[in-house]
Amino acid sequence: MEPVPEDWDRALAIVAHPDDLEYGGSTAVAKWTSQGKRVTQVLATRGEAGIDGMDPDEVRRVRTLEQIEAARRVGVENVEFLDLPDGVLEYGLPLRRLLAAAIRRHRPEVVLLVNFRETFPGGGFNMADHRVLGLAVADAIRDAANRWVFRDLGLEPWQGVRFALFGGSPQAGHYVDVTGHLQDGIDSLLAHEVYFGNLGAGFDAAAFLTGIVEPTGRAAGVEHAMPFEMIET
């Protein structure tokens, strides 16, 4: 595995749902914000379809607050929501346009996402929102750089994205050394208290993240590391 370059200042995390980042990405974010890097989060939905036993309007409110708190715990102050419908994201020009606008507004050097491949590491089919959004973001990075695409946005093109990082990918070949930041990542994941409480599965946040960073750290030659698929743009 190769280390993710860290000679940059601004990152934009774009994910589908509240809690997507906290399954690994936020542990790296905790390290980056401790270095003084600026990280902004953009969420396509508010996760309103994520709890079967609660009304979607209440879920939307609760999960919004939980995401804002999860972000705060890893040093992120700016969290935006695109308010697209949870569970039914559609790939296409409207989605690419929204995402290109976000990239042009925030002008990141790095874009952080979750796995958009068909499967998760170790198997299991990835959900549609992740697959749709990841591909759309990858395309929107190029859209945002082309001044002749989405001209009606009234935003200057942004060609400064160096690479995209996909967390939880079965094709991970890079890592971020997160030694000293594991607890920050665990605390961020635990911010989704109501969500996990309604799943009823006894999810162990500490065991989950430790089970990722310890073996990856051994492979990378450090104590704790978070794996990513890196695609240069």
Segment 158-181, tens digit of pLDDT: 999 999 999 999 999 999 999 999
The pairing of beta strand 110-114 with beta strand 10-15: parallel
**pLDDT score, position 201:** 66
Q: Report helix angle 182-190 to 205-220, nearest 10.
A: 150
The mean per-residue pLDDT over the stretch 29-38 comes to 98
Residue 199 has pLDDT above 90, yes or no: no
Residue 92, H or E segment: none
Question: All domains of the chain, ordered by start, with CATH?
Answer: 2-232 (3.40.50.10320)
Residue 19 has pLDDT above 90, yes or no: yes
- Confidence tier at 28 by pLDDT (50, 70, 90): very high
User: pLDDT tens digits for 126-162?
Assistant: 999 999 999 999 999 999 999 999 999 999 999 999 9
Residue at token pair 């698929």: 229
How far is it, in rounded angstroms, from Cα 9 to Cα 60?
31
**pLDDT score, position 53:** 87
**pLDDT score, position 158:** 98
Residue 110 has pLDDT above 70, yes or no: yes
How far is it, in rounded angstroms, from Cα 72 to Cα 175?
23
User: pLDDT tens digits for 81-100?
Assistant: 999 999 999 999 999 999 99
The mean per-residue pLDDT over the stretch 63-75 comes to 98
Residue 223 has pLDDT above 70, yes or no: yes
For residue 210, give every residue at least 6 positions away whose Cβ sits within 8 Å of its Cβ, in sequence order, or none: 182
**pLDDT score, position 172:** 97
**pLDDT score, position 198:** 85
- Confidence tier at 14 by pLDDT (50, 70, 90): very high
How far is it, in rounded angstroms, from Cα 233 to Cα 230?
10
**pLDDT score, position 202:** 75
User: pLDDT tens digits for 117-128?
Assistant: 999 998 899 999
